[in-house]
Amino acid sequence: MYTQAMDTMGKEAGDGRKNVRSAEEMQLEERFDAQIDAGNFIEAKDWMPEHYRKTLVRQISQHAHSEIVGMLPEGNWISRAPTLKRKAILLAKVQDEAGHGLYLYAAGETLGTSRDQMLDALHSGRAKYSSIFNYPTLSWADVGAIGWLVDGAAIMNQVPICRCSYAPYARAMIRICREESFHQRQGFEALLTMMQHGTDAQKAMVQDAVNRWWWPSVMMFGPPDDESPNSAQSMRWGIKRVSNDELRQKFIDAAVDQAKVLGVTLPDPELRWNEERQAHDHGPIDWSEFWRVIAGDGPCNRERLAARVKAWDDGAWVREAAMAHASKHEPVRDAA
Ligand SMILES: [Fe+2]
Ligand SMILES: [Fe+2]
């Protein structure tokens, strides 16, 4: 994903320093605005307003955290994948998510925040990640449902970020999106195999997984546009290109057709085609659940964070060894 839902999490909505800007700063900001208006990319070395930088650090780091926390629910099934083929696919997919995290931490670092700072914010519970990963994976069908729905929603969210005004983020997203489309297809194909060739119990397992993942996936696009306070500024800056509700609608419309191919029912009795809007209407979304999970009270919040902190602590010796190795290869400085 996994960033859209996080647009509401910032507390830096105004830096309160607008009145004390120097003439030089105002000129730089005008030049920056003109670059944005012209649709040009901003590079790491370019001047940028502090609020733009902070918004990006928050969004990119939350996105990076989501990628690596997102490895946990599916990683849980690597040792129990039903066949060698499925195991190889799942291993590759989970490894891709680690790579996505690395591209994104690297993009975040170009804004002057270190990886250690970003990870410290995650481990201490100050930073957020996508709430979808706080749900458990109870059966093998959950792995397919995550690929189909969660990675499917991620693609909808992430394709517009390939045109984000901050170039290092946009470049990272281009690579990530190529892999996400493979993730979505492998999930859909795994479910389709069970629905077409599986036993009744396996088909029921698929339906159960879809029932549990549908609404959290719909919520991945974040709160409705009129309740998404940072969206307008992010749109103005070209960080965000398409609104939460528009993306959600696109996702739902695509999923309805795919559900028909699979032969599963989406758990929303109010889901129906609206001829006038040329889109599907859907039932009410339980936003109280969304806010509860974001606030830390989802089914697996504590478990996920504990797993990340443990991985970080267990990996300390690897980081130390890598630093020791790197220091041996540092160029010898001239005493003069
Ligand atoms: Fe990813
Ligand atoms: Fe993915």
According to DSSP, the residues that pair with 280 across neighbouring strands are 273
pLDDT of residue 19: 57
The strand ranges marked E within the chain are 272-274, 279-281
Q: Would you say 162 and 171 are in contact if contact means Cβ atoms under 8 Å apart?
A: no
| Ligand 2 centroid, distance to 63 Cα (angstroms) | 12
pLDDT of residue 4: 46
pLDDT of residue 24: 87
Q: Would you say 164 and 96 are in contact if contact means Cβ atoms under 8 Å apart?
A: no
Query: How many residues are there in the chain?
Result: 336
Helix axes 200-219, 244-262, angle to 10 degrees: 170
Q: Taking Cα atoms as reference points, which of 95, 184, 173 lies closest to residue 143?
A: 184
pLDDT of residue 194: 97
| Ligand 2 centroid, distance to 97 Cα (angstroms) | 6
Q: Report pLDDT digits (tens) over 45-79.
A: 999 999 999 999 999 999 999 999 999 999 999 99
Q: Which ligand is nearest to the CA of 100?
A: 1
| Ligand 1 centroid, distance to 174 Cα (angstroms) | 12
Q: How far is CA 286 from CA 291, 300, 319, in A?
A: 9, 18, 42
The residue assigned the tokens 């409705």 is: 224
Q: Is 272 helix (H, G, I), strand (E, B) or coil?
A: strand
| Ligand 2 centroid, distance to 277 Cα (angstroms) | 31
- In the chain (336 residues long), the average pLDDT of successive 10-residue segments reads 45 50 88 93 95 95 96 95 96 97 97 96 94 95 98 94 94 94 96 98 98 97 85 87 93 97 98 97 95 91 95 96 91 60
| Ligand 2 centroid, distance to 145 Cα (angstroms) | 12
Mapped to the 3 state alphabet, what secondary structure does the chain carry? CCCHHHHHCCCCCCCCCHHHCCHHHHHHHHHHHHHHHCCCCECCCCCCCHHHHHHHHHHHHHHHHHHHHCHHHHHCCHHHCCCHHHHHHHHHHHHHHHHHHHHHHHHHHCCCCCHHHHHHHHHCCCCCCCHHHHCCCCCHHHHHHHHHHHHHHHHHHHHHHHHCCEHHHHHHHHHHHHHHHHHHHHHHHHHHHHHHHCCHHHHHHHHHHHHHHHHHHHHCCCCCHHHCCCHHHHHHCCCCCCCHHHHHHHHHHHHHHHHHHHCCCCCCCCCEEECCCCEEECCCCCHHHHHHHHHHHCCCHHHHHHHHHHHHHHCHHHHHHHHHHHHHCCCCCCCC
| Ligand 2 centroid, distance to 101 Cα (angstroms) | 11
| Ligand 1 centroid, distance to 312 Cα (angstroms) | 20
Q: Which ligand is nearest to the CA of 185?
A: 2
Q: Which ligand is nearest to the CA of 180?
A: 2
| Ligand 1 centroid, distance to 23 Cα (angstroms) | 42
**This prediction's pTM:** 0.89
| Ligand 2 centroid, distance to 40 Cα (angstroms) | 28
| Ligand 2 centroid, distance to 178 Cα (angstroms) | 10
Ion ligand 2: residues, CB within 5 A, are: 151, 180, 183
| Ligand 1 centroid, distance to 96 Cα (angstroms) | 7
pLDDT of residue 333: 64
Give the type of residue at 93. Answer: K
Q: Which ligand is nearest to the CA of 101?
A: 1
Q: Report pLDDT digits (tens) over 186-228.
A: 999 999 999 999 999 999 999 999 999 999 999 999 999 888 8
